[in-house]
Amino acid sequence: MSTAQALRHRLAATLTEDDWLHDNTWRAAIETEPRELFLGPALFQQTGLPESTAWTALRRDSVPTQEWLNLTYRNDSWVTQVDGVLAEEATGPVEGSPSSSSTLPGLVVQMIERAGTTPGDRVLEIGTGTGYSTALLSNVLGARNVTSVEIDPDAAERARNALDTAGHHPTLITNDGLLGAPDGAPYDRLIAACSVRFVPYPWLRQIKPGGTILVTLGGWSFGHGLVRLTVDANGEATGRFLPGYTSFMLARPHDHPPRGRLEFLPGEQRPSRIDPTLLDDWTGRFVGQLAAPSAERFGAGAEQILFDVATGSQARTRPAEHEGWIVEQRGPLKLWDAIEDAIEVWTAAGSPHLREFGLTITRVRQRVWLGTPDGPSWLLPV
């Protein structure tokens, strides 16, 4: 057995021990697919933290083979593109946010299993990225049953070459995956490797009745929740959020609109009814985002800052002099009032994890609910 093969087997064993991987069919795919092929010639690493947030490329030919393979077969995500610049094209440090990556193998295989994917299924993947997850799907389902859509032409070409070299020829589409892939519809499962602010309606029309959509709901306040939806014969869907803490980069068309320098202006001040640090909690942050979906959140702890780019509405919290917190708000949307209302509903229910929430999608609205479908609910910004 070669070094790479041995590392693949070790990765599969680790993923099984660590509860990411349960099914021997997918385990065999992890043991077979050469992740080094999909990571390509270079990766980005964030260096100089906390002073600098620049990304520096690490080239495969600059490190010993064994070291590169060890990196490849760690259960880690690797960033392959920052703001449109592929790692192999970087000529120096790049400032920006990851725009494509290889998801950690544990999460890739967990998503596949959680979608209920079994041999015989036809799968639509949104966000091909490096192509590694597409290779795992092709390995088990057969490439003719796999369609993957990637919005970034450079990432798509890189993935296509890697998949070709690995001997897989699934249907690869370079386009906005929020439109789905109607030509190959209907599919049994849709697995999204990017998050969305609401579920795109074309997806609902392309999944068979009884089929599954597995997607992370995200937003501009960094709230994330993985939801598994079952689609019905009317093209409507419902399902619950899943345990754990899954996040993906936002689908590019759902990213926040461009804005100038953030300038905070004086507003009305009053005591806050809630502890602002609740927005640092995984579910608290998601609930806050449900209540103020068009706001971006900055800051942390007792000093939260919310800014709504469309209306210029702002909210900022700080500790009060003696006890409690002060909120200062400005603009037509009372962002903090809405967040307080929602957080109070959540805390009154015992501050449960997101898995106590669900999502129901009809033809006209998308509603996240707490507890049961007739419980307290919030509309997504469709």
Catalytic center residues:
101
In the list 110, 117, 130, 139, the residue contacting ligand SAM (rule: CB under 6 A) is 130
Site residues for ligand SAM, 233-272, by CB under 6 A, read 248-249, 251-253
Q: Binding pattern to ligand SAM, positions 80-99, x when CB under 6 A?
A: -------------------x
Cβ of residue 300: shortest distance to ligand SAM, in angstroms? Answer: 24
Sign of CA dihedral 7, 9, 10, 15: positive
In the list 123, 151, 162, 370, the residue contacting ligand SAM (rule: CB under 6 A) is 151
Please choose, out of 148-156, 216-224, 267-275, 330-338, the segment that lies near ligand SAM by the rule CB under 6 A.
Answer: 148-156
In the list 103, 117, 195, 289, the residue contacting ligand SAM (rule: CB under 6 A) is 103
Which has the closest alpha carbon to 340: 381, 380, 290, 379? 290
Which has the closest alpha carbon to 162: 184, 136, 187, 141? 136
Q: Which of 57/306 has CB closer to ligand SAM?
A: 57
How far is C-alpha 158 from the chain's CA centre?
21
Q: Which of 38/357 has CB closer to ligand SAM?
A: 38
In the list 34, 40, 106, 129, the residue contacting ligand SAM (rule: CB under 6 A) is 129
- Does 100 contact ligand SAM by CB under 6 A? yes
Specify whether the CB–CB gap between 156 and 49 falls below 8 A: no
Site residues for ligand SAM, 162-221, by CB under 6 A, read 176-178, 193-194
Strand pairing report for 187-192 and 123-126: parallel
DSSP 242: -
Calculate the alpha carbon distances from 129 to 20, 39, 71, 217, 338 in Å: 20, 10, 18, 19, 36
Cβ of residue 100: shortest distance to ligand SAM, in angstroms? Answer: 3
Residues making up the chain, counted from first to last: 382
Residue with tokens 């640090």, as numbered in its chain: 277
Cβ of residue 153: shortest distance to ligand SAM, in angstroms? Answer: 10
Q: Where are the beta strands (DSSP E) in the chain?
A: 42-46, 55-59, 78-82, 85-86, 98-102, 123-126, 146-150, 171-174, 187-192, 207-217, 225-231, 237-241, 268-271, 295-300, 303-308, 314-319, 325-330, 357-361, 366-370, 377-379
Cβ of residue 141: shortest distance to ligand SAM, in angstroms? Answer: 15
- Does 78 contact ligand SAM by CB under 6 A? no
- Please tell me the distance from the alpha carbon of residue 67 to that of residue 204, in angstroms, as a whole number: 44
- Does 152 contact ligand SAM by CB under 6 A? yes
- Does 36 contact ligand SAM by CB under 6 A? no
Cβ of residue 34: shortest distance to ligand SAM, in angstroms? Answer: 13
Residues near ligand SAM, by CB under 6 A: 99-103, 108, 126-127, 129-130, 132-133, 149-152, 155, 176-178, 193-194, 248-249, 251-253
